[in-house]
Amino acid sequence: MKPAVRKILYAAFIVGTLGVVLFLAVQSGDLASSIAAIGGIPLWYVGLGAVLTFGAIFAQTLSACSALRCMGHSVGLLTMFRISILGEFYCYITPGASGGQPMVIYQLYKRKVPVGDGTSVQLAHHLFFQIALTVITTVLGVLYRDFIVRQVGPSLPVLVVGYCFNVLVVILLLLLCLTRRPVRWAVKLVALLAGKLRIQKLAELEETMLDTADQFYAATQRLKRNKPEIARQLVIGALRVVSLNSVMYLVYRGLGLSGYGYGQLLAMSVMLYNSAAYAPMPGASGAQEGVFALYFAGIFQDSLLFSGMLAWRFITFYLVLAVGVVVMLSMGANRQEKEVEALKHKEHELKAEQAVE
């Protein structure tokens, strides 16, 4: 499928999800009151929410710049911030956030950062973010256990599955840091199964996946000897988790609600992130809104549930999309995406020619 067609389909899915939410609001008779409630949110709440949202992206920028510096590379802070916004934009418009990392790696490559180091930076950033997310989720889960269980109710299995998935990601990434053997064995097993099932594209990825695992292992070995860098990365990861999930409290208070404290709202927002952030849809659209409706019923009373959902998604998702479009156009990323596809196609052709020879 051509990149332009994929973009249209992904955009249609995102807009369609928003349309479904608005349709449900109309059916329940809550749309007018929801819009009125959103319009009544003080602008400084919205502005602070936007600062926290882009502050989380800036934390990602600091993480990347710090890791690049440890590898002997230098990328300007403002340039890296724009690349990070671009990466988030592509994460939001592709299923399972699959498009963000390749675009960031390509942008770094254009700035003379080898693909292996760019890949390692992305994987290392993801590792420390996942560790911070898992630790913060565990701590908040213990501190607010009764409140979370009561609020989540019958949807508790959804939360447990999401939490276990994040823990599994941390374990796999740590295995990459500690040893190559289990990961190489797993990659070869996946490739073997793909070959048995005649899934050629997956089988062809074996060499690329093994190379990436080796590159990440080599980079993390250098990183493991740099204890201050590890501490910095963990702190930055924690700041990103807290910044991104503090927006929920601002939306709650901006709608004139009270009764639940910052810790409770932060805990529920983190639980929502665990449950829906990695759904295999563009921007986790549909999953985010569905889990919000399940987890925050009762916290945002009556029609304010739709108001809270729309305001929260606008600040943390649609606003990033809008800024991401501007950054994409200013950096010519639309054209560069085609270059990435062309390079991938040429690489596959070269491998096919080598296999024939």
Name which of 10-14, 264-268, 288-292, 294-298 the model is least confident about.
10-14
Pairwise pLDDT comparison (283 vs 127), residue with the higher score = 127
- Beta carbons of 210 and 30 less than 8 angstroms apart: no
CA distance 209 to 172: 14
> Which residues pair with residue 300 across a beta bridge?
297
Per-residue pLDDT at 106? 83
Mean pLDDT value of segment 169-184: 72
User: Both tokens of residue 327?
Assistant: 């950054």
Crossing angle of the two packed helices 319-331 and 77-92, in degrees rounded to 10: 120
In this predicted model, what pLDDT tens digit does every residue of 25-46 receive, in sequence order?
Answer: 555 556 666 677 777 888 999 9
Cβ atoms of 102 and 163 closer than 8 Å: no
Least confident of 108-117, 297-306, 331-340: 331-340
